[in-house]
Structure 1
């Protein structure tokens, strides 16, 4: 078998490559319109999507997309604006205001192409009625540390925005609208990708309020007032302003996992995709994966080694410590603790956008010797987990995975590689 860290990294790289806009976007482009073509977009992959569109569009183009700082891709006809993620900033707010103006006054002969990917929830920031940017920043910060799922967080965000929850699509009416989506959410629900600026939303202000209550999230009074009044209601299915809107999913977490599975097969390792939408507390998911892995190693059930267990989705972290962490390294450290040095097991967990949490680190690797090496260095794995300090732990071991900005985003990637048992000596 190929060197374990190398094979794990090859699978991770293949997952990222399968989600690159340059290859997956062109087949989904619509025909040019009689009128203008306006391009708008938001997300960590939006700049790369804009470049892919430019490279394959036969006619005039104009427009604006917003991406995360450091994820810019040079474009000649489309403007790329960089803004903050995961907590929004003034640059994003200014760009969102310009985007709204860009799509106003269009005609039925015009075409709007929306390039939407994960990260757009904070990048496309337009406070709802009576709210300020500071209000949105406070809510985003509270949501990120609450343990709420991505679906729950985006439900709240949709109802506090002037553009999300279908409002940007409504602003494009009567132009024809085609939304090209890169999914980074469990289940690939369009309304959850960047909080659904160009798609209808069936959820309500009451749903958003219930989420805040369930997770004991304190928000500014103006936020609560907006939700309680119903003034934050989103654009609902059947709204006539969305009649000319079409949505196309151009790549997903499942496609990325299948690309990784192909690499494993080529290396003589049987892949098993456990799911593309695993959710829950990152440390809990790590413990569950450890239990499944133990059964494979010790019992040959439900899979026989050599094999690799692949999974995606988006876990959550309830922040209680002061460390430097992200959901992937939190899950991986929990997995390492659950395995407790179990032989023949190596694993990688990383975010396909190259950023786990707020660190410019995609994730990390573990092997059977991870805990032993940590103890020799004077590290205490359990203390690091309790302090939400996965990055601090893996950096000290030299086991971080750094990719730089990948210019795409199909969320979490996990691969647990299990070697075959060594035959007994004769």
Structure 2
């Protein structure tokens, strides 16, 4: 899975970290997770997740598969394997670098779009998707595949907005360190596909969504900006977000002001009669559980810190390291050899022009903490963090693997972090992890290995 694994696997602890990361990514393979959630007989489809459902095929004349996201091809492959020729038509939008883009999975077309910023190609694909969606009627079953990345990929500007407006507002929100709820509140109100609008376009069809969650707590309205889910935010909420973060995109503010004044319809609210249910087939906890099983198989006691870590990535790292140090020195909260695990969705405050996403910044900040350990508690610890989709932020690295020797000059490392150039610093020290696209996405996965002292 990892390029140059041999150079990263410098000790048993480094090998365990890499094995846990790989197991976590494999554990959220979208095709396998979706197949496990589906059962089909001659008459019905059983969907078994926390929100289960039975779909009677006799009630429908047509089955459409629609949606988008980084992991959408895997979901559609599982649907094609389970339903076969019961699927009549469909279209999903995926990153243009995905090998499936430009082809099809059974009868489902796969079109490419932009990520993390929307592109004209994504707009064209989403327009085609909406046109197909609007052909649905009361005898249509819509199976929607929605995963992380759909927010950027399903790009259909609302009103008089352009794809450039969507790009500028998204970039500004990301650079300002806005959290995913804030970003999506804006996205939903400048799009014709998000915030329940895709399901509204399919009405009166029955809609069942199969989702891979890349957000803390797996709330369906936030996954991919909730294209098939009622929206609890408003134009006023979106305006509050851009005001709070000082987002200067006049055309977007004008559109939001007009929507707040009633010139554009609100997104379908929580009282909207959107048919169907969202079924989350995998999320961050799924990856953590798979990584924990890998740790246990290798004789390390797994300890899950949280699947819900959020906040600024560089600020969360010292606390993670402090807990690992406590385990190494005092055996609390777990006796070594142990592996501490966390997931969630951290952010980056952008102040410089370097390269690096939240996992790279987490790793560099962790390296600084390990290097600053006064009593040697961090000397033997190994810390790794990746984005499970294989791309941390806008970089080609998934994340990084660091130890007590990664940071030799703390001033140089702090300067790189201040310039948001964590990738530059870590790549120079052979600490960056590269996987290429993984075909899945449940956001961040962090592994801290605490070996027995002297290992």
TM-score (norm 1): 0.94
Q: Which secondary structure does the structure 2 equivalent of 1:292 belong to?
A: helix
Paired residue for 2:430? 398
Paired residue for 2:236? 206
Q: Which secondary structure does the structure 1 equivalent of 2:386 belong to?
A: strand
Shift of 1:246: 1.5
- Select the residue among 388, 395, 401 that pairs with 1:365: 401
Shift of 1:295: 2.2
* RMSD over equivalenced CA pairs, Å: 1.8
Which whole-Å deviations, capped at 9, do the CAs of 1:227-271 have from their partners, x for residues lacking one? 22323621111212x0x2211010010011001000101111111
Matched, 1:171 2:198: no
Q: Which secondary structure does the structure 2 equivalent of 1:315 belong to?
A: strand
Paired residue for 1:49? 75
Task: Name segments (4+ residues, structure 1) moved above 4 Å.
Answer: none
5+ residue gaps in structure 2? 1-8, 39-44, 46-54, 373-377
For residues 3-402 of structure 1, what are the structure 2 equivalents within 5 Å?
Answer: 3-29=12-38, 30=45, 31=55, 32=57, 34-58=60-84, 59-73=86-100, 75-220=105-250, 222-229=251-258, 230=260, 231=264, 233-240=266-273, 242=274, 244-340=275-371, 342-372=378-408, 375=409, 380-402=412-434
Structure 1 range deviating more: 287-296 or 404-413: 287-296
Shift of 1:163: 1.1
Alpha-carbon contact 2:155-2:191 (below 8 Å) kept: yes
User: What is the rounded CA distance, in whole Å, between the counterparts of 1:371 and 1:315 in structure 2?
Assistant: 22
Shift of 1:335: 0.9
User: What is the rounded CA distance, in whole Å, between the counterparts of 2:417 and 2:337 in structure 1?
Assistant: 29
User: What is the rounded CA distance, in whole Å, between the counterparts of 2:131 and 2:178 in structure 1?
Assistant: 33
5+ residue gaps in structure 1? none
Alpha-carbon contact 2:196-2:267 (below 8 Å) kept: yes
Q: Which secondary structure does the structure 2 equivalent of 1:15 belong to?
A: helix
Alpha-carbon contact 1:12-1:413 (below 8 Å) kept: yes
Shift of 1:155: 1.3
Paired residue for 2:4? none
TM-score (norm 2): 0.88
Give the paired residue count. Answer: 416
